C-alpha cells in the first residue's frame, strides 16, 4: 500500500473554498487531484482499495470516533495515508473523506479479471454450494459490490475477495439495464423498519441521507452523501401540497422521501427507525422542537 508523494509548497493554504467533507487535504498533504486548489508540503497519488466488509468511515483515526459514513462490502476507497491502524482518504462512489480501519481494506483487483456486479434491490445470501438448500456462509447488504463469474443459469461464483469461491443466486444481482431507476422511492422503501444509525447506509442501520443516497444509487443515479448536498443537487422546488412520489422533503440537517403528496419515508432519530409518517406530523414535531417547521419540497 505504498502511496506516491510529490513535494509541494512548504506552507499549507487553500487557494479557494473547499468543503472538507469531499476535499481530501490536511496541513501536511493533499490528494494529488487538488494540486490546483490547495498548497501543501506534499501531494499524494491515491491507491485504490476495496472494502472487505461493511465498515464505518470515521471522523478520526480512533475506533471510538464518530462515524461520517459507511463503506459496504466491495465499495472502493482512495487511500492517501495510513497510521494507527487506519487509512485516510475518500470513498470513490461519493468522494466522502474519512478514516477506515486498514484491516477492512485490501488492494483492488483488476476489473478486467471478472464481471463486477451490485447486490440489489434487497440483501443477499452467499452459499457454500450452488443450490438454495446449501449452507449459508454470509449475508451481504444491498449496495455491496462484488466480482463474479458465471456458474450456471441460476448461480454465479464469487471471483475475488474474502468470499471467493462462494455462490450467489442471480436474483440477488441488480439488473444492469436500469429498470429499477423509474421508481427509486420503491427501493428506498426496502429500508422501512431499519434502525436509525448515524452514518449508516444499510438495513442494519441507516441515517436520513444514507436512505436517500442508497435509494438513488441502487436505481442507477449518482448521489452525494449529506442532506444539504442532496438538496443542492435537485433541479426544482415544488409547491407545498404538490409533491409526488420521489420528491424529497428537506429541513436543515434532515431529509426524507415523499411516497405521495402526504406521506414521508425517512430515517429519523426521534423514532430511531426508518418509518413512514404523514408529512404534517413531522412538520408539527419540528415546530414543537423549535427548528424549521415547514419542509422545503424538492425534485431531482
pLDDT score for 160: 86
- Of the pLDDT bands very low, low, confident and very high (cuts 50, 70, 90), residue 17 is confident
Report the percentage of the chain scoring pLDDT > 70.
Answer: 92
Say which DSSP state 43 is in. Answer: E
**DSSP one-letter string for 1-29:** -PPEEEE--SS-EESS---TTT--B-SSE
Nearest to 238 by CA among 226, 250, 229: 250
pLDDT at position 74: 95
Residue 235 backbone phi and psi in degrees, to 5 = -110, -15
**What's the pLDDT score for residue 186?**
94
Overall average pLDDT of the 140-146 stretch: 95
Predicted pLDDT of residue 99: 98
Following DSSP, what letter does each residue of 230-273 receive, concatenated? HHHT--EE--TT---TT-EEEETTEEEEESSSSEEEEEETTTTE
Q: Hey, what domains does the chain have and what are their CATH numbers?
A: 4-107 (2.30.30.40), 112-172 (2.30.30), 180-299 (3.90.1720.10)
State residue 115's pLDDT score: 87
pTM of the model: 0.93
Contact, 184 vs 149, CB < 8 A? no
| Residue 178: band (very low, low, confident or very high) from pLDDT cuts 50, 70, 90 | very low
Q: DSSP letter string over 164-217?
A: TT-EEEGGGBPPTT-GGGGGHHHHHGGGTTPBB-TT-EETTEE-HHHHHHHHHH
Amino acid at each position: 500500500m505504498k502511496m506516491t508523494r510529490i513535494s509541494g509548497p512548504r506552507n499549507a493554504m487553500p487557494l479557494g473554498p473547499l468543503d472538507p467533507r469531499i476535499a481530501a487535504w490536511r496541513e501536511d498533504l493533499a490528494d494529488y487531484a487538488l494540486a490546483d486548489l490547495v498548497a501543501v508540503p506534499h501531494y499524494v497519488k491515491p491507491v485504490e482499495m476495496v472494502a472487505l466488509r461493511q465498515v464505518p468511515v470515521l471522523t478520526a483515526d480512533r475506533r471510538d470516533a464518530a462515524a461520517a459514513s459507511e463503506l459496504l462490502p466491495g465499495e472502493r476507497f482512495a487511500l492517501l495515508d495510513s497510521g494507527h491502524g487506519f487509512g485516510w482518504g475518500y470513498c470513490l462512489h461519493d468522494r466522502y473523506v474519512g478514516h477506515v480501519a486498514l484491516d477492512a481494506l485490501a488492494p483492488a483487483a483488476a476489473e478486467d479479471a471478472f464481471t463486477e456486479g451490485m447486490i440489489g434491490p434487497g440483501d443477499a445470501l452467499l452459499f457454500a454450494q450452488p443450490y438454495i438448500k446449501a449452507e449459508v456462509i454470509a449475508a451481504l447488504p444491498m449496495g455491496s459490490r462484488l466480482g463474479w463469474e458465471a456458474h450456471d443459469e441460476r448461480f454465479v461464483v464469487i471471483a475475488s475477495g474474502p468470499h471467493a469461491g462462494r455462490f450467489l443466486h442471480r436474483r440477488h444481482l441488480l439488473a444492469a439495464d436500469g429498470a429499477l431507476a423509474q421508481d427509486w422511492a420503491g427501493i428506498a422503501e426496502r429500508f422501512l423498519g431499519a434502525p436509525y444509525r448515524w452514518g449508516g447506509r444499510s438495513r442494519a442501520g441507516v441515517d436520513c441521507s444514507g436512505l436517500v443516497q442508497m435509494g438513488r444509487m441502487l436505481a442507477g443515479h449518482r448521489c452525494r452523501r449529506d442532506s444539504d448536498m442532496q438538496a443542492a443537487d435537485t433541479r426544482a422546488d415544488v409547491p407545498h401540497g404538490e409533491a409526488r412520489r420521489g420528491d424529497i422533503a428537506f429541513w436543515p440537517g434532515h431529509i426524507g422521501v415523499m411516497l405521495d403528496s402526504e406521506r414521508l419515508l425517512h430515517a429519523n432519530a426521534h423514532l430511531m427507525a426508518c418509518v413512514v409518517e404523514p408529512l404534517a406530523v413531522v412538520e408539527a414535531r419540528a415546530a414543537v422542537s423549535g427548528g424549521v417547521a415547514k419542509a422545503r419540497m424538492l425534485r431531482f
